[in-house]
Amino acid sequence: MMWADLIQKSKDGGLDIIETYIFWDLHEPVQGQYDFSGRKDLVKFVKLVGEAGLYVHLRIGPYVCAEWNYGGFPLWLHFVPGIKFRTDNKPFKEEMQRFTAYIVDLMKKNNLYGSQGGPIILSQIENEYGNIDSAYGSAAKSYIKWAANMAVSLDTGVPWVMCQQADAPDPIINTCNGFYCDQFTPNSNQKPKLWTENWSGWFSAFGSPIPYRPVEDLAFAVARFYQRGGTMQNYYMYHGGTNFDHTSGGPFITTTYDYDAPIDEYGIVRQPKWGHLKDVHKAIKLCEAALVATDPVYSSLGPNLEATMYKTDSGLCAAFLANVGTQSDATVKFNGNSYQLPAWSVSILPDCKNVVLNTAKINSMAMLPKFIPQSVKYNLDSSGDIASTWSWFREPVGISKTKTLVKPGLLEQINTTADKSDYLWYSSSIIIKYGESLLQNGSQTVLHVESLGHGLHAFINGKLIATRFAPTGNHKISVDIPATLNPGKNTVDLLSLTVGLANYGAFYELAGAGVTGPVSLRSSNGGLTLDLSSQPWTYQIGLKGEDLDLSSGSSSLWDSSSFPKNQPLTWYKTLFDAPDGNDPLALDFTGMGKGEAWVNGQSIGRYWPALSSPDSGCTDYCNYKGPYKSNKCLKKCGKPSQELYHVPRSWVKPSGNVLVVFEEIGGDPTKISFTTKQVGSICSHVSESHPPPVDMWNTDQTGKKSVPTLSLECPSSNQVISSIKFVSFGTPQGSCGSYAHGTCRSLQAQKIVQKACVGARSCNIGVSVATFGDPCIGVKKSLAVEAICG
């Protein structure tokens, strides 16, 4: 369980409150049957946060979005008679109230609300409904009023919020979600200005590049929010984690939900994002006494230049200076002093005089993570062939289970499967007589299939003739497939599949999937067309291997002979010993196609390394200046969206672990490898114009002036800095891992930094000519260092 470590790293990063959603589908997978076991133990999580000295914001929803399967709603909800989601509908309101009240009562029984001395100080009802409420007409207003009254009636003793709901009824607090919320104003001056989701990055999808958000921009957004009267802001995400099992929604949301968050998917702090935000939090808290004592006073310092001062008669004073321009740095005058303001940055002055931090100037070190391939011990036979350690099971094509459904016409998939499986077989047959135009010489038979998505494998007489996916757009599939028919009976087997259910938008629960037709056979020369859509079809929910519980690895049906590679619809199993150590663990699925994997019976999620993102749209450098949007900064163009899949250490034993893989389109499981995530280099690049580290701030600024300082620290307590890979004091260029000397450099820098840092876990070096001498008089200089820990 990673919770305690993640909570501590959040606290160390300067957070005060942890927000968490409540996932209805996890906690009530069957109507009336609740589950709070294991990693679903909500009470334990809230208590751990409280024990760490932090508060909790409980976002009950119970609609959560979160790129989570079906927006967090359980699928059984879809089948409640007469139900319509998220509107003034009696069956929906009854179920929503019942679950919300159950969660509130559970928290009360454990004395977890702030009114009971517990850590929960805020709760949320509904979620981003204001983004889509116009689609529901007048029923939206009555529904929101009902939801507000229902929540308040539960008497938690702490405030309730609604995010993105400008008309949230009193006393519900309406809050903001977005990349920037400094311009947001609550719907009453009696309500605090709250930012429930500051998007630290963005989610990723199979077949798309990976978004990331520069920390300079994220820090700018945070500082601007507090500059303009903000009360509380929350990072969405501070840690995103992993969509294990079938929890990813979308459709086509990746298994990783890393989100470019300050704490990455594996629980490692992402530097410099985590560290720079920690400094921003410290800087804002240095202003806290003034911020809560008075209202801000705004003044213009010029075009795109703004000063905000919080000043009391008792002598408290804090100020924020902002340059919201995207092009030019500026020099401004404030309170009789001169300040340099880089474009798209905020300087924070806890005493209205001295700058403790500028959001564009990063003092925190950077870390370059790396995945290290690990040798895995297999029980090889005398041949020494890794394939000998694998066994397999061929998933039958078409109907293979006794429990089936026969219906005339084509059925929508989600209504048929209730999402019990990603897969639904559609099977039918046709008799072709000798001499029919579909078999005439010179005529090619074409199978036409239309599907609502998300994927399709088509078979004629047991032979795969096409595979199609629709990861973009409306996810619909329309395909014409050359097919070979035989005289007599011919079978048509269509395996339809979902890749996570829709989670956002008005009426998203009505978004269908599966082969809804038409399905037809026609001759390519314009002859006979046979419409198969309305004839009898046999349906099988899920795979034979799912019914046999192959994912546990315990079945007796595994075959160890004639090992097949690169075959579709194949299950594979092997045993492995866990790599040594405690570093976070991942499986590298390079060489595989698409499917799902289980470790010791627990699903690590869907994998899909065979699907690459488009070649264009990524850049080597992303300019943080100017408004951010989700497609501004992208990486991994032309590459698989995800090759590496997190396996929590708590899921594996030292030896005898079972890995099961269901490969859908064909791959080579012997190429699956284990890696561990470690920190490679640590780096820092600090200029003479940087403010000193926030930790050096002293309320008495009349004494000796602190100088900018470059700080390095190995991430693990048992490591020391073993070598210095790069040093330059002068005009170095580039970024961590690719620094280069500029035209000006100090020849003493290498020796000075090595002496200060090598052999120590951490070191601090003053960035000034007093330390290194002046290699180029009159030129602005900086110090860049890359070091290795060992």
Please count the other Cβ atoms lying within 10 Å of the Cβ belonging to residue 639: 15
Cα 522 off chain centre by: 45
Q: Output the DSSP codes for 142-173.
A: HHHHHHHHHHHHT--SS-EEEET-TTPPTTSE
Q: Nearest Cα to 694, choosing from 674, 708, 676?
A: 708
From the candidates 19, 126, 197, 265, which is the catalytic residue? 197
- Tokens linked to 416: 């048929």
SS3 532: coil
Please count the other Cβ atoms lying within 10 Å of the Cβ belonging to residue 4: 12
- Dist CA 280 CA 277 (whole Å): 5
Which letter does DSSP use for residue 86 in this model?
T
546 among known catalytic residues: no
Phi, psi at 201, each rounded to 5°: -165, -130
Please count the other Cβ atoms lying within 10 Å of the Cβ belonging to residue 780: 11
- Tokens linked to 574: 């092997």
- Tokens linked to 377: 């011990």
- Dist CA 283 CA 218 (whole Å): 15
Please count the other Cβ atoms lying within 10 Å of the Cβ belonging to residue 650: 9
CA distances from 237 to 179, 213, 245, 258 (A): 12, 12, 20, 8
H or E segment to which residue 616 belongs = none
- Dist CA 376 CA 392 (whole Å): 20
From the candidates 67, 126, 128, 395, which is the catalytic residue? 128
Sign of the C-alpha dihedral computed for residues 460, 464, 465 and 469 taken in this order: positive
Q: Rounded to 5 degrees, what angle do the CA atoms 466, 501, 68 make? A: 135
688 among known catalytic residues: no
Please count the other Cβ atoms lying within 10 Å of the Cβ belonging to residue 554: 13
SS3 260: coil
- Dist CA 89 CA 707 (whole Å): 64
Sheet holding 570-576, edge to edge: 391-394, 570-576, 657-663, 595-599, 602-607
Catalytic residues: 128, 197
